[in-house]
A and B are shown apart, each in its own frame.
Chain A
Amino acid sequence: MNETLLLIIEWTIKGGLLAFGLATGFAYTTFYERKWAARLQIRIGPNRTGPGGWLQPAADGLKLFFKEEFTPANAYKFAFNLAPVLTMVPAIVIMAVIPWGTQIDFFGRIIPLGISNELNVGVLFLLSVASVSVYGIVLAGWSSNNKYAMLGGLRSTAQMISYELALGLSFIGPIMLAGSLNMAEIIRAQQQGVWYVVYLPLAAVVFYIAALAEVNRSPFDMPEAEQELTAGYHTEYSGMKFSLFFMGEYIKMIAVSAICATLFFGGFDGPFVNTYPLLGPLYLGIKIFISLGLMIWIRATMPRLRYDRLMAFGWKVMLPLSLFNVVWAAAVIVFFNVR
């Protein structure tokens, strides 16, 4: 009983830490994006709030708290209020299977770093939870009772059905090399050998592109194309409900970066990580930071794709490439005799 209570306390603290970390991470990702995109476009970016603009995210967050929570008269109220939650919560829950490190000794108590590192269907969990958050977007588009929102929701569906296949198939390579769906096991296999990006460079690229489409990032940000659809699926949302969508999108960016790091770049792996387990979260953070920087760079550089081209690219380029990747991974095992 005592042990059960301790475990529940441990899980709650770790869950709280993760949610808090992701919320902070979200806030500073917006800041990172504004600063970095500004630099790429030879501007300065926000620099007025606090030293060097570092308090900008806090100011933005506080402002959103004091904005009006508005529900249009024609909206389907229940679904309208459910949608932001349904977008944000899965984004956090995805992170449950990403290991942050091995384990630490906390006053004689062994605490694994991560929520559920050893989940035996980890990769399957990732895929299924990632798809749930699309429901939030579609529901938001439909329940707003607004034409722009409806089109945004439909575009989101089209995008999901075009890129989820490539995303799922690019997971196959690391699974085959590690022989497991367990995320911690995949990292251990990479620690013993080399990072899988060496064996599966194409799969990493396919994964990254499909992940960009999955989190609706530019050049795949059709569901919220400002110039055509006002704000897409969240046109009618304001205040905190809007910020939950915003948060969901950015936390998903962090999550896919973490997944990319775990499957292809060794996750928390880095020098001395086995001696000092607390370095694990730091290494993972650095990898996520680099990946986010790349996403922002792509956004600042690439124009948006046309809608039918986007679907054609998903079906005619990404799908054959990812099928080829499966065969490639088998060939890597057979010919290079990995591990």
Chain B
Amino acid sequence: MVTNLLTDYWPILVLLLVSLGFAGIAMGGGLLLGPRRSSARKQEAYESGMRAIGPGTRQMPVRFYLVAVLFILFDIEVIFFLPWAVVFRQYYENGLGAFILLEMLVFIVILLVGYAYAWKKGALEWE
């Protein structure tokens, strides 16, 4: 079986185009076949039948911004895990199992310290 860049990535591009076409047909068909009756009331934002009060997008207190920052940190850590996970078996079978396991345990422990600190500081709570 030939595995190279071409046979791996081009089919995905083709699938992307096919699914874009699919979405295009669906939206185009809906535009062609559906009725169009507009009115001033209908054009307003839906607010359970009331007149919309103020703009729809306004400044909102995003309570979880601290969690979002933590997410970025931990997500990068997940990416760090991946290459380690791929080579773990190779290292283990070559007798370097203890080394690679310890390396990762150190990494996990450092992470857990940060995690415990964030938890204790209340970054995961809603005030």
A319 touches B27 (CB 8 A): no
Main secondary structure of the interface of A (DSSP, over half): helix
Cα A18 to Cα B53 in complex, Å, equals 45
Cα A244 to Cα B22 in complex, Å, equals 10
Contacts of B82 in A (CB 8 A): 123-124, 172, 175, 181
A8 touches B14 (CB 8 A): yes
Q: A65-B34, A172-B81, A316-B119 are in contact. Are A11 and B11 (CB under 8 A)?
A: yes
A114-150 contact mask (Cβ, 8 Å, vs B): 1 or 0: 0110111001110000000000000000101111111
For residue A28, give the distance in angstroms from its CB to the closest CB of chain B: 17
Q: In the complex, which of the residues A64, A89, A230, A308 has the most CB atoms of chain B within 10 Å of its own CB atom?
A: A89
Contact pick for B44, options A73, A112, A161, CB 8 Å: A73
Task: Look across to chain A and name the residue whose beta carbon is closest to the beta carbon of B13.
Answer: A11
Q: Is A19 in contact with chain B by the CB < 8 A criterion?
A: yes
B45 touches A330 (CB 8 A): no
Q: Is A259 in contact with chain B by the CB < 8 A criterion?
A: no
A319 touches B74 (CB 8 A): yes
For residue B127, give the distance in angstroms from its CB to the closest CB of chain A: 10
B1-44 contact mask (Cβ, 8 Å, vs A): 1 or 0: 10100011111101111111011101101110111111000111
Q: A176-B88, A235-B46 are in contact. Are A65 and B9 (CB under 8 A)?
A: no
Task: Look across to chain A and name the residue whose beta carbon is closest to the beta carbon of B23.
Answer: A85
Cα A93 to Cα B11 in complex, Å, equals 10
Count of interface residues, chain A, beta-carbon cutoff 8 Å: 84
Q: Is A74 in contact with chain B by the CB < 8 A criterion?
A: yes
Q: In the complex, which of the residues A68, A70, A312 has the most CB atoms of chain B within 10 Å of its own CB atom?
A: A68
Q: Is A69 in contact with chain B by the CB < 8 A criterion?
A: yes
**Chain B binder among A52-60, A162-170, A263-271:** A162-170
Task: Look across to chain B and name the residue whose beta carbon is closest to the beta carbon of A158.
Answer: B64
B84-98 contact mask (Cβ, 8 Å, vs A): 1 or 0: 011111101000010
Task: Look across to chain B and name the residue whose beta carbon is closest to the beta carbon of A173.
Answer: B85
Q: A85-B27, A115-B11, A161-B68 are in contact. Are A334 and B97 (CB under 8 A)?
A: yes
Cα A323 to Cα B29 in complex, Å, equals 47
Task: Look across to chain A and name the residue whose beta carbon is closest to the beta carbon of B26.
Answer: A240
Q: A68-B34, A93-B19 are in contact. Are A154 and B42 (CB under 8 A)?
A: no
B81 touches A179 (CB 8 A): no
Contact pick for B78, options A73, A162, A168, A239, CB 8 Å: A168
- A sample of 24 inter-chain contacts (CB < 8 A) reads A7-B10, A23-B22, A64-B30, A66-B33, A69-B31, A72-B46, A89-B20, A92-B19, A119-B12, A147-B47, A162-B67, A168-B81, A175-B82, A175-B85, A176-B88, A177-B89, A240-B27, A240-B30, A311-B126, A315-B67, A326-B85, A329-B85, A330-B88, A334-B97
* 19 additional A-B residue pairs with CB within 8 Å, beyond A177-B89, A181-B86: A15-B11, A18-B15, A19-B15, A74-B55, A85-B24, A88-B19, A92-B15, A97-B12, A115-B11, A119-B9, A146-B45, A146-B46, A161-B71, A165-B75, A169-B78, A179-B86, A308-B126, A330-B101, A334-B101
